[in-house]
Amino acid sequence: MDAEKGHESRLYIRSSTRRYKAASPDEVLEAARTVVGQRMSRGASFSDPKTAKDFFRDKLSGLQREVFAAAFLDSRHRLIEYAELFYGTIDGAEVHPREVVRQAIQTNCAAIIVGHNHPSGSVEPSAADRAVTARLKQVLSLVDVRLLDHIVVGGNQTMALAERGWV
């Protein structure tokens, strides 16, 4: 519909009955995450920080609670697998380094980029964010996996801890 004629623009999705229906905001976000997943499929290269920031922004922005995720990469920094590892509340998610290491070993990755969202919209990393980054770097190095970056997503903005020298 035309916004200039007083009608709001709507997006449509196909329902389970194969008919089109107006999409809710949550359904639009889920469809967008699916498109991002298709665009950045296995083998996609994380050759620069902007790629990682855009990837995690597209995956994690707009979520109502904190989600901590990881992109598991091969030795040429190509995507092996993306996984949402921990789910929290509106202001925190408990991260267990042991589980990140377990997933890293299962994917046989050489490097990892982690990211999480701040539902508050702030991209400023907390003291806990910095501490978990240091801990992850330490435990991953024990199994010869490099932590390349930790991306914080707030709304449509991102911040990379590596850009501040914190990785």
Digit-coded pLDDT (tens) for 119-139:
999 999 999 999 999 999 999
Query: 42-164 — its CATH code?
Result: 3.40.140.10
Q: What is the pLDDT of residue 24?
A: 78
Cα(76)–Cα(46) distance, rounded to whole angstroms? 9
The residue extents of the domains of the chain are 10-39, 42-164
166 closest CA partner among 154, 148, 153: 148
Band (pLDDT 50/70/90 cuts) for residue 2 is very low
Cα torsion 85, 89, 94, 95: sign: positive
Strands 146-154 and 12-14 come out as unpaired
Whether residue 90 is predicted with pLDDT greater than 80 in this model: the reply is yes
- Tell me what the mean pLDDT of segment 59-67 comes to: 92
Whether residue 37 is predicted with pLDDT greater than 70 in this model: the reply is no
Joined together, the tokens standing for residue 142 give 């024990």
Band (pLDDT 50/70/90 cuts) for residue 33 is low
> Percent of the chain scored above 70 by pLDDT?
85
- Tell me what the mean pLDDT of segment 109-115 comes to: 98
* 94 membership: H or E segment, kind and range: none
